[in-house]
Amino acid sequence: MFWRRPTGRSDVLAKYGIVASSQPLASQAGLRILQQGGNAADAAIAAAAVLDVVEPFSTGCGGDAFALVHLPGNEKPISFNGSGRAGSGATLDDLLDREWQGIPLRGGPPITVPGAMHLWGHLLSEFGNLELSDVLQPAINYAQNGFPVSPLIAQLWNILLPVLGNDDARRIFTIDGSSPEIGDIMYNQDLARTFQTVAETGVKSFYEGEIAERIVSTTKKHSGFLELEDLATHETEQTTPISTSYNGLMVFEHPPNGQGFAALEMINIMEQFPIQEMGEMSTERFHAMIEGKKLAYDDLYRHNADPDFYDVPIEQLLSKDYALSRANLIDMNNAMDLENMSMKQGPDTVYLATADEEGMAVSFINSLYMGFGSGLVAEGTGIKLQNRGNLFSLDPTHPNHYEPGKRPFHTIIPGALYRNKEFFGVFGIMGGAHQAQAHAQFVSHIADFDRSPQAALDFPRFHHDQESNTVALENGIKADIQGQLRLKGHRLVHETSFGFGGGQAIFVNGNAWIAGSDYRKDGQAVGY
């Protein structure tokens, strides 16, 4: 096809172990852990910790994380919710009394309990071969001794510089007030000390004692709602993954409060159309998927919330009969308008995948929500604090309305695929509201058109924005398709290569692993 291998990237194959992430230093750290006797869980946490250092605006232990873990011989993954809850220092009535229309984007109010570090430790204690001190060592080294800033990260770092909101953030993440350029050596020695403390004393020291006190004091200094008890009582939750079938594959996602069910509903709607017959690069395929996305996200914005506070109707939303009823609303000649039920969502996240010689594989995603999260660093710790609480609604009638101890709507979703009850692969594509629709597009490339991981990631994507009902088409989608979509009533924004996230994938390939790493990021897949 005309777009074939636009990036020049090949799939990476390896017999024993493999890691794919959005930054080469993180991928290589995970690989070294595998070669030192670690397994896929060890490698995932090592890579996640390095990404905290080398891609600092996207991720960190002060954010949240989710994971799907495949254990050899299992017919489905084990899922883990590593998201934190709203602080107990304010109620919805308190916020409404302030006449807020929403929770502020930056500063203390949007900070929720950081769940990522607890999930890191939980996965290691459940599945890891190595000690936390071994797994955190690569990140400690880069934080203490420095790392060179890679190209795309340098560009985004510069854009995000204005959000840095306290002295620690500006001291650590600027060079005399300016953003680093490609190749500049950056450090986070405060984070190195934090990681060293956790390595020596365990994850509990993150949620109790001096580190927790600094997280809470920084949050309160900037009008946030966290209390020490909120951190001390935080736990990772093992959950039951949700799934649907599509053209011979079982597609697994994490359940709410993540948006994974929107990907599955979109896939179910796509199944009602002859996607293979339409062709991979066709107006009809793009139209059907875009319309299916609109309907799936309409349900997402109506229903996604913490299941401890709201009974999300997952069984109904993921039923094939419901998908047929939704598909019947699609006019193949005309684009639809829906009532706007959307919300702003941050695109800054990291997704990584790992697999090992024994057959374990990990699908892992970690985020601060928007770039640099709240803009605040917990003083003296190097920990960037997320702003995930910004996604709470202040509408008392909405399932996702703010409540103390409640987990917010979450964008970050890891994915996994099985075929004939056997493990097939792990995948994920980061990017805020782009994630679920990108998952569905990726699955179609695999199931409908038998693409390899790298080719499925490379294929140009669409991004539909629910709020404006506009469609961005990535460079590489034919001009005649763009014109035909306009004739159907789609409002297209200027062709662009920005805003389409970035993904990683690792599949089984006979007796080896095969992996792809998105050219839209600085990363790579590496194996041995």
Catalytic residues: 349
**What DSSP string describes 353-400?**
EEE-TTS-EEEEEEEEESTTTTS-EETTTTEEPP-GGGG-B--TTSTT
State how far the Cα of 421 lies from the Cα of 284, in Å rounded to an integer. Answer: 32
Judge whether 29 and 47 are in contact, CB under 8 Å: yes
How far is it, in rounded angstroms, from Cα 221 to Cα 460? 45
Separation between Cα atoms, residue 431 and residue 78, nearest integer Å: 23
Structure token pair of residue 361 = 């594989």
DSSP 65: E
Contact 434, 499 (CB under 8 A): yes
> What sections of 36-128 are H helices per DSSP?
40-54, 92-97, 116-127
352 within 8 A of 49, measured Cβ to Cβ: no
Transcribe 168-237 into DSSP letters.
HHHHHH-BTTBPPPTT-EE--HHHHHHHHHHHHH-THHHHSSHHHHHHHHHHHHTT----HHHHHT---E
Give the H or E element holding residue 487: helix 479-487
| Positive or negative torsion for Cα 179, 153, 106, 145 | negative
Closest by CA position to 123, among listed 181, 60, 68, 63: 68
Tell how far CA 510 is from the center of its chain: 28
Nearest to 198, CA basis, from 130, 120, 113? 120
